[in-house]
A = this chain, B = another copy of it.
């Protein structure tokens, strides 16, 4: 299982509908009115999407407070990450992190440098400084997956300065950005330098509950946007994703309500999980929680939950993690309570 959300592979193990705690989607569902907006756009399916995505890029630029020329788009964030990896000869990953960083680098036969997070899952700036060179693409999850931590602002600026000095490129994968507490907005940190040596990728997938529609986007320098345009596949974003992207960023109430909801549930779930014996939940800035298993291996716990109708994520598929970690999504209160109930059952089995 390289990725979460694969319900079909496991539905045979449970007589009923599985609850998916293995992928991390906004529990509030789609923004109001999006369905109607997309139905209105159906006639557009019989035309190609605008190959330059002019309207879409304009909407994203308003949301990200940058210029349309700074915007790139793709078939989910993973498509954009893939194109970046293609453009650099040397890929630096910090483990554990999203497995596709390494997978795609392997496919393109790139030189891969594997660093590690410190024990508390913060970054070791020294190791980054030693590794980066002008050929290097440093990819950092911000917040990182599966660990859930956001890079603090000072560390990020520090790393950016090192990367610039050494002539490398820093790619921030911020697919979970909107779930984070409002500390800083990285699209506003590097603006004066016009995103020199840095790119920020985000996605509609998780926060806007649209993993099915596939819309990733990013903010880069004009030069990089041009370079990216030469590498990307034509029509990579489908017409409905194009249309959705012109709608969702205007949904200010939905964005605010979702952030408040997730913050409440994050606090609630962490507090409850911290009281369960035999596990150690890590602090998180996002809508999933990494959990260290102190008494069991991931397989046992995975099947324990599966038998009770809950699909969780085993973490050994993240390179750099052993088989004593799981990851769970933060969902709505009703489902979060179910999760806690099963953890309590697990605790009683000690």
Contact = CB atoms under 8 A, between A and B. Distances in A.
Interface of A: 2-9, 20, 23, 25, 29-30, 35, 38-39, 42, 44-52, 54, 75-76, 78-79, 82, 86, 100, 107, 209-214, 230-231, 233-236, 238-242
- Counted per complex, copies of this chain come to 2
A104 to B, nearest CB: 8
Given A238-B212, A240-B240, A8 B233 contact: no
Contacts of A214: 75, 235, 238
B234 A47 contact: no
A23 B8 contact: no
A255 to B, nearest CB: 16
A309 to B, nearest CB: 16
Given A45-B211, A46-B212, A240-B240, 19 more contacts: A2-B234, A5-B47, A5-B51, A6-B48, A6-B52, A9-B52, A23-B47, A45-B209, A45-B212, A45-B213, A46-B209, A48-B211, A49-B211, A75-B214, A79-B236, A107-B230, A212-B238, A213-B238, A238-B238
Contact of A47 (B20, B45, B52, B79): B20
Nearest to A20: B47
Of A30, A42, A212, A239, most buried by chain B (CB within 10 Å of CB) is A212
A4 B4 CA distance: 38
A21 to B, nearest CB: 13
B7 A47 contact: yes
A45 B23 contact: no
Given A25-B46, A48-B212, A213-B239, A54 B3 contact: no
A55 to B, nearest CB: 8
Nearest to A48: B5
Nearest to A75: B75
Of A8, A209, A211, most buried by chain B (CB within 10 Å of CB) is A211
A264 B54 CA distance: 37
